[in-house]
Every structure is written in C-alpha cells, then in structure tokens.
Chain A
Amino acid sequence: DVQLVESGGGLTKPGGSLKLSCAASGFKFGDYEMNWVRQAPGKGLEWISYISATDNRYYADSVKGRFIISRDNARNSLSLQMSSLRVEDTAVYFCAREGTMSTFDSWGQGTLVTVSS
C-alpha cells in the first residue's frame, strides 16, 4: 500500500525556520511527482509546492522565495525547508503524490506547523 508519513512540524516564532519531511513507501518514489499542500485551521486546502521526478520545482506565490522543496529518491523522502515563517503559515502541511496531471492521489496524515510569538 502507498504510505506517506510527514514529520517535523511544531511551534516556531515569526521569522523562524522549520524543515518538514515526508517518508514514502509502497511505490517507486522516484517515478512520481510530489507536492506539498497545506490547510490553515478551519480553512480550505492550498497547494504550495511541486517537484517533478526530474527535480523541476514550482511554488505558490504565497511561499515563493521562503520555502524550498527537495527530494531524495535514494531515501524515498520529500522535504520542505521553510524559512522567514509568518503567522499566516500556521497550518497542517500534507505531502501528496501526484498521479495524472494535478491529481493528488495519495496523501499523508499531515503535520501541524504553528507560527506564533
């Protein structure tokens, strides 16, 4: 079975940094495009970053220049380095596998990031 497990969330102050990880198993990780999607408390889903199987990377305007997505195919791992964090970055962060174009066919359980002074 496909499994995605996020980790690394926690409480940090505005301006701080945090690195999220997503451990993948049950599929050939290197063959798939991957994404990060977040959900602020009580709010809807927001796509924030994408990485292709060949390392092309895209970001939503809300995080561009502050977040960096990366992958380690040898370790079946996806990461999101977050810096210059803002209160509005507070959310549950999900990693999601991409099937066909922009279809998020598998999701992790999410990890909560809280940015507060």
Chain B
Amino acid sequence: QSALTQPPSASGSPGQSVTISCTGTSTDVDDYKYVSWYQQHPGKAPKLILYEVSKRPSGVPDRFSGSKSGDTASLTVSGLQPDDEADYYCSSYGGINRKLFGGGTRLTVL
C-alpha cells in the first residue's frame, strides 16, 4: 500500500484534458508545498514534469499543470497527445526521513 493514493488508471481522447489526483494526509501533501509529479514510459526512468505543486522544469510543455487543495494534489494534462500515454507518479515531502510516492496512474490515450 503506497503512502499517497492515486487512481490506478485514467484515460482521454487526443485533444482532451485529464486530471489525476494524489491524496495524502495532514503530515505530507497538506503540510508542505513540495509535491512533484513524474512521467514514466515503459522501460524508462521517471522524468520530472512538475515540482513544488505547479512549477514546470525547463522543456516541459505548459499542457502539464498542477494544483493542490488541502491533502489532495492534482495533475492536469491538457490537449492530450499520444506520447502522453505513460505512468504518472506523484511524490510529496513528509518531513525528515519521509519521501513519499503515490502508487502511480496509468494514463491511456484512447
């Protein structure tokens, strides 16, 4: 059982928007602004796509956006493209010695 809760799957058609949730607790997601999101294609290493809830690293398109409300963070992928099909993981700082991941969400582009 993962520390952060994500839906196991999500889907959308090309051009549509999809939102993936990530629920933690009052001692991690709700308590800190340090939520990040990672994209992982099969057989590849994870890639950082959002950090500090909503900041994008250089090179990540603005189709990827993030938000947080209380103990739940969200990743929204707008204008879905075939290459967005991947596993997505959220992560949160939970205090010293606590770096938490969600169980992952498989995004399917229909």
Contact = CB atoms under 8 A, between A and B. Distances in A.
Nearest to B102: A44
B34 A105 contact: no
Contact of B97 (A58, A103, A107): A58
A94 B89 CA distance: 15
B42 to A, nearest CB: 11
B34 A102 contact: yes
Interface in B1-39: 2, 32, 34, 36, 38
Given A58-B96, A58-B97, A45 B34 contact: no
A101 B91 contact: no
Given A45-B89, A47-B99, A105 B48 contact: yes
B38 A104 contact: yes
Given A45-B46, A94-B45, A101 B93 contact: yes
Contact of A103 (B47, B51, B100, B102): B51
10 contacts: A44-B2, A44-B101, A45-B46, A47-B99, A50-B97, A101-B34, A103-B52, A104-B36, A107-B45, A109-B45
Interface of B: 2, 32, 34, 36, 38, 44-48, 51-52, 57, 89, 91-93, 96-97, 99-104
